[in-house]
Amino acid sequence: MKKNFRKLTTPELERKNAEEYKDSKKNPIVVVLDNIRSANNVGSMFRTADAFLVEQMLLCGITACPPNKDIHKTALGAELSVPYTYFETTQQAIDFLQTQGYTILCVEQVDGSTLLQDFEPDNQKQYALVFGNEVFGVSDNIVSASDICLEIPQFGTKHSFNVSVTCGIVLWHISQKLLNP
């Protein structure tokens, strides 16, 4: 028997407003954007960060910052709910996070990487997820400064995902593990 599906209305989704989001308990995750060149990708990553209740985003180097029409276009207002800080260099952001006790997780294809499905986050730790430039990936010095490098397995002909897609996959996986240990 065919099920009769009906799309939910926005009120039926019972989403938080910006103030409720700010007051919500967050996942112990900071998203670090290492020289992301597309403001549309930045906006998409704000929206994803909002969906998974991340603590904040650190925007580094050439990464565009709000207010920006292209960020707003894809963030749909999430740039107003997710706190962010700008750093001139990603290394400055990493140095700051390390002093705060964050485990640095670089999302990059490197020798010795941990496959995403094999990574088991610890609910007692705080994580910083570093996502790199659309062409060059995560900067070499940041790869070297990372505690763990995560890699998403792929099976087609392309060697990488779009950075905002990568962000969504990784945040979903880690959030699920943190929420359902």
pLDDT per residue over 73-125, tens digit each? 999 999 999 999 999 999 999 999 999 999 999 999 999 999 999 999 999 99
Q: What is the pLDDT of residue 1?
A: 86
Helix (H, G, I), strand (E, B) or coil at 73: helix
Residue 138 binned pLDDT confidence (cut-offs 50, 70, 90): very high
Strand partners, 106: 130, 149
SS3 content of the chain, % helix, strand, coil (to 5): 40, 20, 40
Write out the two tokens for 112: 């010795």
Are the CB atoms for 103 and 128 separated by under 8 Å?
Answer: yes
Strand partners, 151: 115
181: pLDDT strictly greater than 70 = no
CATH number assigned to the domain with residue range 24-179, chosen from the 4 options 2.40.110.10, 3.30.420.40, 3.50.30.60, 3.40.1280.10: 3.40.1280.10
Find the helix or strand (DSSP H, E) in which 18 lies: helix 18-23
Q: What is the pLDDT of residue 70?
A: 98
Strand partners, 104: 128
Q: Which residue has the higher pLDDT, 130 or 181?
A: 130
Helix (H, G, I), strand (E, B) or coil at 124: coil
Q: What is the pLDDT of residue 145?
A: 98
Residue 157: Cβ-neighbour burial (10 angstroms; 0-12, 13-18, 19+) = exposed
